[in-house]
Chains A and B, each alone.
Chain A
Amino acid sequence: MTEKLSRRDFLKLTAAGAGATAVLTGCGPASRYVVRSPYAEMPEYTYNGQSTFYATTCRECPAGCGIVVRTHQGRALKIEGNPSHPVNLGKTCSRGQAALQGLYNPDRVEAPQALAAGDRQEIDWDRAIRVVREALIGNRPEEIAFLLGPSPDHLYDLVSEIMRSLGGPAPLCYGTQALFEARATLVQATAQVLNRTALPFCDLGGSDVAFSFGANFLETWLSPLAYGRGFARMRRGQVGRRGFLVQFEPRLSQTGAAADEWIAVAPGTEGLVALALGRLVAEARGGLVPAAYREVDVATAAEASGVPEGTLTRLAGIFANAEHPLAVPGGAALGHVNGLEAARAVLTLNALAGNLGQPGGVFLTPVPNVHPDSRRGPDTLVEINALIGRMRSGQVKALFVHGINPAFELPAALGFTAALENVPQIISFASFPDETALLADYIFPDHTPLESWGYQKVRTGSDRAALSGAQPVVVPFHNTRATVDVLLAAIQAAGGDLAAGVPYSDEVDFLQQSLLTLVQEAGNIAAPEIRTFMTQFQQYGGWWAAEAGLDAPSTPAPLERPLRLIEPEFAGEGEFHLHVYPSPILGDGAGANRPWLQETPDPMTTVMWNTWVEINPETADELGLEDNDVVRVASDFGAIEAPVYRYPAIRRDTIAIPFGQGHTALGRYADGRGANPVALLGLKLTGAGDLAFAATRVRLEKTGRTSILARLESRIGVYGEGLE
């Protein structure tokens, strides 16, 4: 017997109602004839005027945080952290908070669409499933390609299974977010140093001195909320000892701003600094300098990195004297041609500190026992490039895209968009009309995460093995369908060996079968059989091990191998290093269509709604650049234009541009806003085969135009403009 306002009435009540009523405040309510339709039959768990909370997983980035969504009469109202979820313990970030604006975004793909004669037409799902079926069985298996996002989720596991069953190539998973985190490089370095193909977990909370080499772990890196919690624990200190954080990076990031010291190292020399520090630490400790550091020359490192030797010695002293020192590799430090070596150098520093598997040290996160045969890390640019090569040469007949927007995210130099033209059938599962979806022949929109079932493996960030669970918190808002269901329906329609190899009736069935392996494991859920397990899985928002515990790396004596760093190399010509970083607010650009993310100020520059070019004020003075002057940033691979932000904390030889804006699609809030810096990136690779995204040089040209950046901060009050 619930009063359920229809959506139209809700509009009336809220937006107009509050307004119109206020006019007639003295005269009585203006919304006199609002009609309220109570339910014909009361749905379960729904009470009059009371909110219902559903636990699910935030899918705005690959970290896999648990969230609880407040729903009210069938509408999702607010996202809150899941307090018992081991990744985020009840906390949320901006992007998670704004996920509702994805669900209720006015620019969603509302129904399956087909491109016919250059026109987009809505089709029904039956036809969509026929199209998918044809694409799956009408092509040879090696002519089918799946390009998925970086999240280790159930879709990846299912597609892996399908492709295995078909005998085709494994799905590729990639994303700019993973690229800027240098995931692939880090995973490979971990494999080399710590002997496991996994992401390391740095126990910031247990350390008292942490040196971060480019890892922007408070913004986007790996698991910002987990690291944020670690940072807080470190700052609160163990026994009255406040943790000390030093950040090595050419441009002061938000993490650097929260750190106690920021060392502006020259781009590409972070690894060199790590090596020099290692040697100095070893020397400070006394005794023999390990083999790893014997070839290191501190003076050369100081010269190349621009960090005075005295500073290095001082920092090495702090590191050496710390009880629980920790070195964190990540981000742009690994985005150079020597990125893999840099990552190894930093990880080796931990070995030197002796913190591997110790509190305040480096751990490896156990992975829940679900589809253990799935791959562990994201693919590298080399593999993406190979796919593009196959596409270009017409070897790919059907391309399925989900969870990634390659036309926007991949460096323009790769030529993905051009290669698409040689693919006869492109099927996008995007929920939003993004750049890739608009180039696709079909858009079969998936539900947005809050309408979806699923699970996501927690790669890092939690203190135990964890599988984050997702369930719909509201009924699908539009005529969308879960991609897993579409694939399964197509496979069932295809029948034959394929259907036999992928024996799931629908998404929930797939989930239940996948989770079967967990029923017996000791975890938060004690259920004898899968149905009960599933209920509790939904209730808790996932499964996680009963006991906290991370794996200690088994190291094959990393200190015994001499560490060498190749000279950094840079793509293209220009007087500036280009430092592209993912916007802490917009992430990989998928957040650009959430108006509130657009209006949430960037933490460091407080800019909203736009892209900017950060440049050292002294350099700007030399070039005659003022704030808001639009400059043309050109590399050998492309050029973009954006207004200048005179950023006090960036090296003079570096300019920085946030990634996330510059969409040419994705709806009204993203389209035509800002510029996309991936257009500038050259194609140097790291030792791990991933893109060396920080190794591009660019040139600046004044355009003579100005464009006012919307910033929250006052240029008068913060920079004294007009007051001198």
Chain B
Amino acid sequence: MLQRLKLLERLQNLARRPIFWIVTGLFTILLAAGVGSGIRSMQAPPPQPLDFNHQVHVGLGIQCLYCHPGAWRQAAAGLPTTAKCWGCHQQMANTKPAQQVLVAYAMAGESIPWVPVFIQPDFVYFNHRPHIAAGLNCENCHGEISRQTVAQPIPRQNMGWCLDCHRGRAAGDEQMLARLTDCATCHR
């Protein structure tokens, strides 16, 4: 009985031993790592079939709209077809590994299975056209892609992120605010 009575004290004793803290600490670290990697996987750039170097291409003076021409007139910006890539690359020596991958796709006449980086949930109907029409630059939403190699997602690009910008642009204009914060603008 007496021994049982000391349960609390034994717990207290246990708490004084280093092994307890080591085990607890390890467990916490593991848990946090799990959560962290889960969140990271949401925000990290996905692996792409080939490491497309945005920086180089932009540096060569190629406009965003050359490869993503949908942005200025429709909802989806679009990804370039293999034929478009090959249009330029067939005129050069493709020595880098990424270029080799492109060559393989182009020779096989297959499409490159890109993994989209900036994606929204399926119930969000994003349309590029009005954003470009409103004078936004690609960098406003996509970040400094021109300094990145493989495109990187922007963390926490969520509804509040969209709304902040919408509200800012509609500041003082009641009608515009109504349109830009209307649920049906993005959800249908």
B115 touches A34 (CB 8 A): yes
Residue of A nearest to B110 (CB): A40
Within 8 A of A (CB), among B74-128: 74-84, 105, 109-116, 119-123
Measured in the bound complex, the distance between the Cα atoms of B43 and A28 in whole Å is: 9
Contact of A41 among B70, B75, B78, B82 (CB under 8 A): B82
Write the A14-44 contact mask toward B (1 if CB under 8 angstroms, else 0).
1001100110011111111111111111100
A39 touches B81 (CB 8 A): yes
Contact of B78 among A1, A22, A32 (CB under 8 A): A1
Measured in the bound complex, the distance between the Cα atoms of B78 and A50 in whole Å is: 11
Measured in the bound complex, the distance between the Cα atoms of B79 and A2 in whole Å is: 6
Given known contacts A1-B67, A3-B79, A29-B119, is B74 in contact with A40 (CB within 8 Å)? no
Measured in the bound complex, the distance between the Cα atoms of B75 and A21 in whole Å is: 21
Write the A589-619 contact mask toward B (1 if CB under 8 angstroms, else 0).
0000000000000000000000000000000
B112 touches A49 (CB 8 A): no
Contact of B81 among A1, A28, A49 (CB under 8 A): A1
Q: Is A48 an interface residue (CB 8 A)?
A: yes
Q: Is A719 an interface residue (CB 8 A)?
A: no
Measured in the bound complex, the distance between the Cα atoms of B74 and A33 in whole Å is: 23
A1 touches B84 (CB 8 A): yes
Residues of B with C-beta under 8 A to A33: 46, 115
Given known contacts A48-B70, A49-B78, is B122 in contact with A13 (CB within 8 Å)? yes
Residue of B nearest to A29 (CB): B121
Residue of A nearest to B116 (CB): A36
Given known contacts A32-B46, A50-B74, is B119 in contact with A38 (CB within 8 Å)? no
B83 touches A35 (CB 8 A): no
- Chain B proximity of A462: nearest CB distance (Å): 36
Q: Is A196 an interface residue (CB 8 A)?
A: no
Contact of B76 among A3, A28, A37, A41 (CB under 8 A): A3
- Chain B proximity of A72: nearest CB distance (Å): 11
A35 touches B158 (CB 8 A): no
Within 8 A of B (CB), among A41-93: 41-42, 47-50
Measured in the bound complex, the distance between the Cα atoms of B39 and A39 in whole Å is: 32
Residue of A nearest to B82 (CB): A40
Q: Is A164 an interface residue (CB 8 A)?
A: no
Residues of A with C-beta under 8 A to B113: 35-37
- Chain B proximity of A19: nearest CB distance (Å): 9
Q: Is A4 an interface residue (CB 8 A)?
A: yes
Contact of A1 among B75, B79, B110, B121 (CB under 8 A): B79
- Chain B proximity of A415: nearest CB distance (Å): 54
Q: Is B175 an interface residue (CB 8 A)?
A: no
- Chain B proximity of A34: nearest CB distance (Å): 7
Measured in the bound complex, the distance between the Cα atoms of B122 and A34 in whole Å is: 11
- Chain B proximity of A253: nearest CB distance (Å): 38
B122 touches A14 (CB 8 A): yes
Within 8 A of A (CB), among B56-86: 67-70, 74-84
Residues of B with C-beta under 8 A to A1: 67-70, 78-81, 84
A47 touches B74 (CB 8 A): yes
A38 touches B79 (CB 8 A): yes
Residues of A with C-beta under 8 A to B75: 49
Measured in the bound complex, the distance between the Cα atoms of B69 and A32 in whole Å is: 23
- Chain A proximity of B166: nearest CB distance (Å): 19
Residue of A nearest to B83 (CB): A41
Measured in the bound complex, the distance between the Cα atoms of B75 and A13 in whole Å is: 17
Residues of B with C-beta under 8 A to A28: 42-43, 158
- Chain B proximity of A408: nearest CB distance (Å): 40
- Chain B proximity of A51: nearest CB distance (Å): 11
B122 touches A31 (CB 8 A): yes
Write the B170-187 contact mask toward A (1 if CB under 8 angstroms, else 0).
000000000000000000
B76 touches A25 (CB 8 A): no
- Chain A proximity of B154: nearest CB distance (Å): 11
Measured in the bound complex, the distance between the Cα atoms of B97 and A590 in whole Å is: 56
A34 touches B116 (CB 8 A): yes
A34 touches B110 (CB 8 A): no
Measured in the bound complex, the distance between the Cα atoms of B122 and A32 in whole Å is: 11
Measured in the bound complex, the distance between the Cα atoms of B123 and A21 in whole Å is: 9
Measured in the bound complex, the distance between the Cα atoms of B70 and A435 in whole Å is: 48
B78 touches A2 (CB 8 A): yes
Residues of A with C-beta under 8 A to B119: 29, 31-32, 34
- Chain A proximity of B67: nearest CB distance (Å): 7
Write the A258-299 contact mask toward B (1 if CB under 8 angstroms, else 0).
000000000000000000000000000000000000000000
Residues of A with C-beta under 8 A to B120: 29
Measured in the bound complex, the distance between the Cα atoms of B110 and A14 in whole Å is: 25
Residues of A with C-beta under 8 A to B78: 1-3, 38, 48-49
- Chain A proximity of B62: nearest CB distance (Å): 14
Q: Is B41 an interface residue (CB 8 A)?
A: yes
Given known contacts A18-B123, A32-B41, is B74 in contact with A49 (CB within 8 Å)? yes
B122 touches A21 (CB 8 A): yes
A4 touches B115 (CB 8 A): no
Measured in the bound complex, the distance between the Cα atoms of B69 and A2 in whole Å is: 10
Measured in the bound complex, the distance between the Cα atoms of B123 and A14 in whole Å is: 9
A38 touches B81 (CB 8 A): yes
Given known contacts A49-B70, A49-B76, is B41 in contact with A38 (CB within 8 Å)? no
- Chain B proximity of A10: nearest CB distance (Å): 11
Measured in the bound complex, the distance between the Cα atoms of B105 and A48 in whole Å is: 21
Residues of B with C-beta under 8 A to A18: 122-123
Residues of A with C-beta under 8 A to B111: 4, 37-40
Residues of B with C-beta under 8 A to A31: 119, 121-122
- Chain B proximity of A333: nearest CB distance (Å): 48
Residues of A with C-beta under 8 A to B115: 33-36
A36 touches B43 (CB 8 A): no
A22 touches B80 (CB 8 A): no
Measured in the bound complex, the distance between the Cα atoms of B67 and A40 in whole Å is: 14
Residues of B with C-beta under 8 A to A30: 121
Residues of A with C-beta under 8 A to B80: 1, 38
Residues of B with C-beta under 8 A to A4: 111
- Chain B proximity of A680: nearest CB distance (Å): 49
Measured in the bound complex, the distance between the Cα atoms of B76 and A473 in whole Å is: 23
- Chain A proximity of B89: nearest CB distance (Å): 14
Measured in the bound complex, the distance between the Cα atoms of B122 and A263 in whole Å is: 54
Residues of B with C-beta under 8 A to A13: 122
A36 touches B114 (CB 8 A): yes
Residue of B nearest to A37 (CB): B111
Contact of A38 among B42, B114, B121 (CB under 8 A): B114
Given known contacts A38-B81, A40-B82, A40-B110, is B74 in contact with A48 (CB within 8 Å)? yes
- Chain A proximity of B10: nearest CB distance (Å): 41
Residue of A nearest to B42 (CB): A28
Given known contacts A39-B81, A41-B81, A42-B83, is B76 in contact with A17 (CB within 8 Å)? no
Measured in the bound complex, the distance between the Cα atoms of B172 and A446 in whole Å is: 62
- Pick from B41, B76, B82, B111 the residue with the most CB of A within 10 Å: B111
- Chain A proximity of B105: nearest CB distance (Å): 8
Residues of B with C-beta under 8 A to A48: 69-70, 74, 76-78
Measured in the bound complex, the distance between the Cα atoms of B69 and A526 in whole Å is: 36
B121 touches A25 (CB 8 A): yes
Residue of A nearest to B79 (CB): A38
Residue of A nearest to B124 (CB): A29
Residues of B with C-beta under 8 A to A35: 113-115
Residues of B with C-beta under 8 A to A39: 81-82, 111
Residues of A with C-beta under 8 A to B79: 1, 3, 36, 38
Measured in the bound complex, the distance between the Cα atoms of B111 and A40 in whole Å is: 4
The 5 closest A-B pairs by CB, nearest first: A49-B76, A48-B70, A48-B78, A37-B111, A21-B121
23 examples of A-B residue contacts, CB within 8 angstroms: A1-B79, A1-B80, A2-B81, A3-B79, A13-B122, A14-B122, A17-B122, A21-B121, A21-B122, A21-B123, A28-B42, A29-B120, A31-B119, A32-B41, A32-B46, A34-B115, A36-B115, A37-B114, A38-B81, A39-B81, A40-B110, A48-B76, A48-B78
Please give the residue numbers on chain A whose beta carbons come within 8 Å of chain B beta carbons, in ascending order.
1-4, 13-14, 17-18, 21-22, 25-42, 47-50
Known: A1-B68, A33-B46, A39-B111. 4 other contacts (CB 8 A): A1-B79, A38-B111, A38-B112, A48-B77
